[in-house]
Amino acid sequence: MTATRSMVLAETAEPAGRGPADRGTRRRPRVVRGSRPGWFVYSALAIVLASAVFPFYWSLLIGSGDASTIRDPNMSWLPGGNFLENAATVINDPAVNFWRALWNSIYSSALIALSVVFFSTLAGWAFAKLRFRGGRWLLVFVVATMAVPTQLGVVPLYILFADLGWTGNIGAIIIPALTSAFGVFWMTQYLQQSVPDELIEAARVDGASSFRTFLTVGLPAARPAAAMLGLFTFVSAWNNFFWPFIVLDRIDPTLPVALSLLQSNHFVDYSIVLAGVLLSTIPLLILFAFAGKQLVSGIMAGAVKG
């Protein structure tokens, strides 16, 4: 259950991760157009950047103040000194279960990302490089499933998990997300372009079994696209709210669900709520610091070109 948006994104997309994977054989060398742009472009971009970052800063401002900060007409534009105190209130709130939520988010998102990457690579390998009856048709089916909204299945899914006694269990959000149509399509596209058929033939002639060929030829070749798929899956699993909100409870939440509990508990004191927002965003900001470049090139590689 990744965000539908990014799911459908690659429907008409080109192979993933073109960037480092091909040596620009097809890309013509870029002619440098004119000189460097003037101050106007930079200042416009600076405004864009400022508005992209401002809400983070705002939550730091409010989250490091106290309940009255927001009402103060002469509010300071520098962070106050209460952030740690507010963060402690969030962490110690028994109704929110912060550590539990953090752990749930980390491990469910990581598990989902790993599983999606593995099964998508496996299926993508089959669709891209192995010939079998009905393959084309089945791939079309996979693509078609990407357009179906999450909402369409939630009622029976809930009945199903309630029947199993799994409501409130973190497994209820992991199981449905273990594979992804978007992932299968993404890996199919990538592997089609990046692995020459001769390589597979060679492995086969050498007597390697089908699975061994996948392990020694397919998996290493898929690495760049798999890394990007893993990143996107992780981020969208981490941020997912609708289904976890329905099926999980306050004892065993994920971070977004915990945030919604925090809001209903502390709506009079926004300094606590926004401290919690900041706390829950820090892990992804750290991830972004390391993998932001990958995310950028992933989006740009997945985009429709021309």
Partner 1 sequence: MTSTATAPPSSAERPDATSGPPPQRAPKRIAFSHRLSRWDLKLSPYLYISPFFILFIVTGLFPIAYTAVISFMDWDMVRNTGTFIGFDQYVYVLTQPKFWIALRNTFSIFLLSSIPQLILAIFIAAMLDQNIRAKTFWRMGVLVPYVMAPVAVALIFSNMFGDQYGLVNTFLADLGIPPVKWHSDAFASHIAIATMVNFRWTGYNTLILLAAMQAIPRDYYEAASIDGASKLRQFFAITVPSLRPTLIFVIITSTIGGLQIFDEPRMYDQFGTGGADSQWLTITLYLYDIGWGQWNFGRAAALAWILFLIILAIGVINLLVTRRLVRNEGSVGR
List Cβ neighbours of 187 (8 Å cut-off, separation of 6 or more): 16, 120, 121, 123, 124, 125, 128, 222, 225, 226, 229
Neighbours of 27 (CB within 10 A): 9
Asked if residue 294 lies in contact with residue 227, where contact means CB atoms within 8 angstroms, the answer is yes
H helix runs in the chain, sequence order: 4-9, 18-21, 39-63, 83-92, 98-129, 135-145, 154-163, 171-174, 181-194, 197-205, 210-213, 219-239, 242-247, 255-266, 270-302
Contact flags string 276-305 toward partner 1, x per CB under 8 A: -x--xx--xx-xx---xx-xx--xxxxxxx
Q: Is 217 in the site for partner 1 (CB under 8 A)?
A: yes
Q: Is 95 in the site for partner 1 (CB under 8 A)?
A: no
Q: Which of 93, 103, 110, 260 binds partner 1 (CB under 8 A)?
A: 260
B/e letters for 41-65, b = 16+ CB within 10 Å, e = fewer, are eeeeeeeeeeeeeeeeeebbbbbbb
List Cβ neighbours of 237 (8 Å cut-off, separation of 6 or more): 1, 2, 108, 109, 112, 113, 177
| Residue with Cβ nearer partner 1 (59 or 104) | 59
Q: Is 87 in the site for partner 1 (CB under 8 A)?
A: no
Q: Which of 144, 192, 220, 249 binds partner 1 (CB under 8 A)?
A: 220
Q: Is 169 in the site for partner 1 (CB under 8 A)?
A: no
Contact flags string 224-243 toward partner 1, x per CB under 8 A: -----------x--xx-xx-
C-alpha 224/C-alpha 167 separation (Å) is 36
Positions in 175-194 near partner 1 (CB under 8 A):
175-176, 178-179, 181, 184, 194
C-alpha 134/C-alpha 129 separation (Å) is 14
Q: Considering the complex, what minimum distance in angstroms separates the CB of residue 245 from partner 1?
A: 8
Positions in 115-154 near partner 1 (CB under 8 A):
119-120, 122-123, 125-127, 130-132, 135, 138, 142, 145, 147-154
Q: Is 104 in the site for partner 1 (CB under 8 A)?
A: no
Q: What is the dihedral of CA 181, 184, 186, 188, to 10 degrees?
A: -140
Q: Is 263 in the site for partner 1 (CB under 8 A)?
A: yes
Positions in 56-75 near partner 1 (CB under 8 A):
56, 58-59, 62, 70-71, 73
| Residue with Cβ nearer partner 1 (20 or 76) | 20
Q: Is 44 in the site for partner 1 (CB under 8 A)?
A: yes
Q: Considering the complex, what minimum distance in angstroms separates the CB of residue 92 from partner 1?
A: 19
Q: Which of 2, 9, 98, 182 binds partner 1 (CB under 8 A)?
A: 9
Q: Which of 52, 78, 140, 251 binds partner 1 (CB under 8 A)?
A: 52
